[in-house]
Structure 1
Amino acid sequence: MDVEQEEMQFLGLFGICKEAYKLIFRWRKIFSQITLSLILPLSFIFLAHMEISNLLKRKIIHSEIQLDETRAGTSRYNKLSQVISSERSYWWLFRVAYFTFFLILSLLSTAAVVYTIACIYTGKEVSFKKVLSVVPKVWKRLMVTFICSYVAFFAYNFLAGLVFILWWVLIGDTSFGMPIFWVIFILYLVGSCYLIIIWHLASVVSVLEESCGFAAVVKSQALIKGKMVVTSVIFFVLIVSSCIIQLVFQLLVVHGWRVAMVSRISYGILCFLLLFKLILFGLVIQTVIYFVCKSYHHENIDKSALSNHLEVYLGEYVPLKSKDVQLEQFEV
């Protein structure tokens, strides 16, 4: 990295984005290899699932319409009922398969990018072969953190659901109730964005430190303090950009029946290119934010210790030990 750790705490919105861009451009060979092997398939699966899922849903809806127009008890009715059951089963199997592959590629991509940047930070020689050898071991730690984050998301949404139910029962759709609904809804979105930020930073912590799971989540909460505004703005822009790409793909490709086929293909390719670049940029940015937060809290990472713990020792990934790397206080 061009910026020393002691100075990274002063990086703002544009400084963090600039540092992420420099990392990708300067080390474009290794990041291109990671993109081709992991991020491109991840982007393709994400966009393809929207198209395939839509096709499966259309088949189910078409069969249900035919079922409604058929007399109950006839052989045709029974056959259509079986067809609908099969189509729904295929849809759920597809969803499970998609989620499984998407999760695996997402965690592997995160591990690859974070490990690569850590090697760059320590001045350690990094190769694509070495990254691939370490990533599967780091992936296990990321999986634990993801499960814990998912539990936190589930609990948050469950409580939010109770709040909305209470709003409906006690106030409801009234002139007084609607402003309260929008206040609750905005607070819900803010809370969701906060959890997303915590999860992304916890993923970096899981790769670079000994903490994983809920411990990594708690650690990321502590790190984000003091840099919440700039981090929130960055992740908000990334989330909005991702939503825009999804919306364009849905409108012009998935549901773009009135659009010429050549144009639909062109829009699909454009969304694909934008998405994989956004994913790579986002993964690099979240790692840079980790180092910025470390610097802000005056927690200096010992590069030599970090380099040693990034090694594969007897075939096992060795996470960073807090006594060695996690943090040495420095004077500002």
Structure 2
Amino acid sequence: MDKSQSEMQSVGFFGLYKESVKTIFSWKKIFTQITLTFILPLSFICLAHIIVDDILNSRIEHFEDNKNRYYHRRESSEWIRYWTITFVYLTFLFLFSLLSTAAIVYTIASVYTGGDVTFKKVLKAVPTVWKRLAITFLLIYFGFFIYNVVSGVVAAIAIVWAVTTPNPTFGDIVLWILFILFCIGFIYITALWQLASVVTVLESSYGLKAMRKGHDLIKGKRWLSWFVFFVLYCAFAGILILFYAFTSKFTFLTIIVGLVCLFLLMNLLLLGFVAQTMLYLVCKSHHGEPIDKVGLSTQLGGYLGQEPVFKVSKDVEIGYTQSHPHVVGV
């Protein structure tokens, strides 16, 4: 991160990814340690769930096709197993997402302030950081749930209307428009989630306040944030589709492709976590909100028990701007 905060304002789509990659390679040792400790398990969980989910769905479909009472009992047992495994999967997904976010945002902030960041310090800070992040994550998940429920109801009504309308071509066009709007809204909520997560780590706000501050930050950079996460989602979906296509039948090629997908997903998630922090810095610069290097350093020290957490300069807070005698370099 060799750009000053004022220069970050002009960083665009490609520039944001460029800064993210440069940061990763400049501190490749600690990012490798974080990746192997937190992101590798997260990637493995995502891919393993595809295999397990496919096996369980096949078993459930097999028992559904049989009307025998014994098979009916087995079907009920498989559904219980399915939802139990899904719950365990979501729990570990939630946990490692929290830990990865906390570790990477803390690391980049430490690099930003010029502090001495080590993996040992990161491990010490993460337990304090993730407790605050958990509240923000749960609220965002609840928001995603409401959004998906409402979207599902709208989609069901639209499909019924499209099937019964005398003009099927027009109905198809409406369905595609609704799908595009759903994707735009979904990715926008994702961008809001990522910014709120960074705000939770670097500022005093968390939960709903962090979400509101993330919403304020994203103003003026909506299209940048949308395209950044749209590309990440497309790459993520592409890796999962590639993995699924080669795991339907177990062969030696399946192992090779599986390892390649694991490597690609691991690096994609690392890039995504770093990019969300870079987007935060770009948005802060766009709004002309200076970040006090000393104040942020003190704040990060609070996670290590060196200082009271968040007893720092207001320059770190969103919405606070003032003439500053200096601009901190990134």
1:104 corresponds to 2:95: yes
| Counterpart amino acid of residue 296 in structure 1 | H
Q: 1:323: Cα distance to partner?
A: 2.1
Counterpart CA distance in 1 for 2:44 and 2:148 is: 29
| Equivalent position to 2:152, from 156, 161, 174 | 161
Deviates more, 1:150-159 or 1:191-200: 150-159
For 1:40-51, what aligned pairs fall within 5 Å after superposition? 40-51=40-51
Which range moves more in the overlay, 56-65 or 23-32? 56-65
Q: Distance between the aligned counterparts of 2:105 and 2:292, measured in 1?
A: 17
Would the aligned equivalents of 1:8 and 1:291 in 2 still touch at CA under 8 Å? yes
Mapped partners of 2:295, 2:306: distance in 1 = 19
TM-score calculated relative to the size of structure 1: 0.90
State whether structure 2 residue 212 is matched by structure 1 residue 222.
no
- Relative to structure 1, the CA distance from residue 158 to residue 58 in structure 2 (aligned partners, 3 Å threshold; closer, same or farther) is closer
Report whether the alignment pairs 1:120 with 2:105: no
Long gaps (5+) in structure 1: 71-76
Kindly provide the amino acid, as one letter, of the partner of residue 263 in structure 1: L
- Please give the alpha-carbon distance, in whole angstroms, between the structure 2 residues aligned to 1:48 and 1:167: 35
Alignment of 1:246-265 (within 5 A): 246-253=240-247, 255=248, 257=249, 261-265=251-255
8 Å contact 1:43–1:272 — kept in the other structure? yes
Partner of 1:240: 234
Number of residues of Structure 1 aligned to a counterpart in Structure 2: 319
Quick one: distance in 2 between partners of 1:208 and 1:320? Answer: 12
Q: After TM superposition, list the pairs within 5 Å mapping 1:128-139 onto structure 2.
A: 128-139=119-130
Q: Is 1:300 equivalent to 2:293 in the alignment?
A: no
Identity of aligned residues (%): 46
Retained in 1: the 8 A contact 2:295–2:313?
Answer: no
Q: TM-score, normalised by structure 2?
A: 0.90
Deviation at 1:246, TM superposition (A): 0.6
Structural RMSD (CA)? 2.1
Distance in 2, Cα, partners of 1:165 & 1:34: 43
For structure 2, the residue ranges without an aligned partner over 5 or more in a row are none
Alpha carbons 1:137, 1:316 under 8 Å: kept: no
Per-residue Cα deviation, 1:27-74 (whole angstroms, up to 9, x for no partner): 001001001110001100110111112112222222333x33x4xxxx
Aligned-pair CA distance for 1:103: 0.6
Structure 2 counterparts to residues 1-332 of structure 1, below 5 A: 1-65=1-65, 67-68=66-67, 70=68, 77=69, 79-168=70-159, 172-174=163-165, 175=167, 176-253=170-247, 255=248, 257=249, 261-311=251-301, 312=303, 314=305, 318-319=309-310, 321=312, 323-326=314-317, 327-330=320-323
